[in-house]
Amino acid sequence: MEKLQKALEKARGQRGGTKAPDLRSHSKQSHLRGKTANAAVKAPLSLWDDLTPYEPNPDLLLRNRILTLNSEAEANPFDVLRTKVFLLMQENGWTRLAITSPNKDCGKTTTACNLAIGFSRQRENRTMLFDFDLRSPAVADMLGRKPNHGIKAMLTGDVPPKDQMLCLRGNVALSLGNMAISDPTQLLLSKHTADMLDKVQADFAPDLMIFDLPSMFAADDARAFLKNADCALILARAEHTTMAQLDTCERQVAEYTNVLGIVLNSCRHADVEGTYFGSK
């Protein structure tokens, strides 16, 4: 991670770019967007109580590498990430976190689910997880529960949010897709979608909203949505993402929102020297 950070700093220096906050040190960013600063007043509990409960199947979650349902040792890396993300966002007054990556299969959905499920163990916080990979929604399969209504129905106003979202342990709302949408860019770009998210945020007053996005290079969907997020976490996968891809992705994400940090997934060794990074 140290080497990855250094390599990125070097790349940023060469192109004169901005510095992402360091997830390890909770450094502060000055360019607060502020437009979605956290609501100070909690939503009435009844709104959350109206959501359909989601009963997790622990075995299925484990098979899908969702490790944060309980406070076990294997949850630790995601719990550390959860706390770092939360503290950094709180420090900046941010509520909306987008998760993206340069290329596919970096572990975005796995990470988004682990963060959201992990937040359900923090009883005082309320979190929402949105599957905004509208072309290939995967969260429902990963959590083993298809919603009756898809996320598009909620965004277009056809179905009220309380009838679309599921709820884990009373404090994590799950807005999941139930079918692929073929050309979602317009929906992601639309003012109606932005207004709907503002309304959901105002009504439910979550402490954190997590958006599982597609990869940046897959299509223009992630790019279309990022302006709605306060910050983004970029996933890279060892032996799968190249340094050049990561650098390009970071630059592109930074055009639309704050880069909260970069997570290197699937790294088997503490020392990443000799792996795929920087070698292509």
Ligand X SMILES: Nc1ncnc2c1ncn2[C@@H]1O[C@H](COP(=O)(O)OP(=O)(O)OP(=O)(O)O)[C@@H](O)[C@H]1O
3 binds, among Mg ion, ligand X, none (CB under 5 to 8 A by kind): none
Per CB under 6 A, 265 contacts ligand X: yes
- Alpha helices by DSSP H, listed for 227-272, are 243-254
Per CB under 6 A, 137 contacts ligand X: no
- Contact assessment for residue 214 and residue 184, using Cβ atoms and an 8 Å cutoff: no
104 binds, among Mg ion, ligand X, none (CB under 5 to 8 A by kind): ligand X
With contacts defined by CB under 6 A, name the span among 7-15, 100-108, 123-131, 219-227 that binds ligand X. Answer: 100-108
Per CB under 6 A, 102 contacts ligand X: no
Nearer to ligand X, 8 or 234 (CB): 234
Per CB under 6 A, 138 contacts ligand X: yes
The residue within the footprint of ligand X, chosen from 9, 22, 91, 105 (CB under 6 A), is 105
The residue within the footprint of ligand X, chosen from 29, 61, 95, 133 (CB under 6 A), is 133
- For ligand X (CB under 6 A), the number of binding residues is 15
d(CA 2, CA 224): 31
Taking CA atoms, 249 is separated from 96, 100, 196, 267, 275, in Å, by: 19, 9, 28, 19, 19
d(CA 88, CA 90): 5
> Among 176, 151, 66, 52, which Cα is nearest to 117's?
66
Q: What angle do CA 126, 202, 254 make, to 5 degrees?
A: 80
265 binds, among Mg ion, ligand X, none (CB under 5 to 8 A by kind): ligand X
Strand 172-175 vs strand 208-212: parallel, antiparallel, or unpaired?
unpaired
The residue within the footprint of ligand X, chosen from 108, 149, 152, 162 (CB under 6 A), is 108
Nearer to ligand X, 51 or 116 (CB): 116
Tell me the three state secondary structure of residue 155. Answer: helix
Nearer to ligand X, 127 or 215 (CB): 215
* Contacts with ligand X, residue ranges (CB under 6 A): 65, 101, 104-110, 133, 138, 214-215, 265-266
